[in-house]
Structure formats: structure tokens, C-alpha cells
Amino acid sequence: MNTNPDNDNIADLPLVFIIIGKAYIKEGEGVDIHVMLTAPDDDTAVRTTLNALADEGFIEADLDQIGTLTEIPEDEPHASAFQGALEGEVAIIRFA
């Protein structure tokens, strides 16, 4: 049985997800968010994100996009959030 991948996308780092959406602290007062975290799959990433948002006081969230990062971000605040995700944190970036 061949266990080699069919492509060159061999990850040296854990799978880092980015989830983009809007979260609400009060009804009608949403804030744009990017969330970075490591997870084994996208279902776990979404559940962990929703739990982290609830812990931060958000009562609702509309998660619009989910993907994995293929490169390390160079610009802040995403570079720090990426590093935090590698360390096991759920990094929530809020945009005012």
C-alpha cells in the first residue's frame, strides 16, 4: 500500500484554520471577526470557534468562510494570531 501523498502539500506545521464572519455582543451590534486556531478538521474548528466566541461574551455569530492557511502571515494582527494558534490558542481578531 502506497502511503505517500499524491501532491507536494506535506504540512510541516499543524493545520491552522481561519474563520471569517461577524459576531454579536448585543442584538444588532455586530463586529467583523477573523478567528485563527488549530484543529484536526473543519467541524472541530467551527465548534471550537463558537465556544471561544461565547466565552468572550458574544451571543451569536455568522461564520461566512472557513479555510486553512497555506503560508505564515507577515502582517499584524494576523502574524501574532497565527503564532498564538500554533501555541494552542484560539486567536480572535476583532475589526471595529
List the chain pLDDT tens, one digit each, 96 residues. 444 444 455 456 789 999 999 999 977 789 999 999 999 999 999 999 999 999 999 999 999 999 999 999 999 999 999 999 999 999 999 997
For residue 23, what pLDDT is reported? Answer: 97
For residue 1, what pLDDT is reported? Answer: 41
- C-alpha cell of 81? 494570531
The number of beta carbons lying within 10 Å of the beta carbon of residue 85 is: 23
For residue 4, what pLDDT is reported? Answer: 44
The full DSSP string for 41-75 is SHHHHHHHHHHHHHHTT--EEEEEEEEE-SS---S
Per the CB < 8 A criterion, the answer to whether 36 and 78 are in contact is yes
**CB under 8 Å to 48, separation ≥6 — which residues?**
37, 39, 90
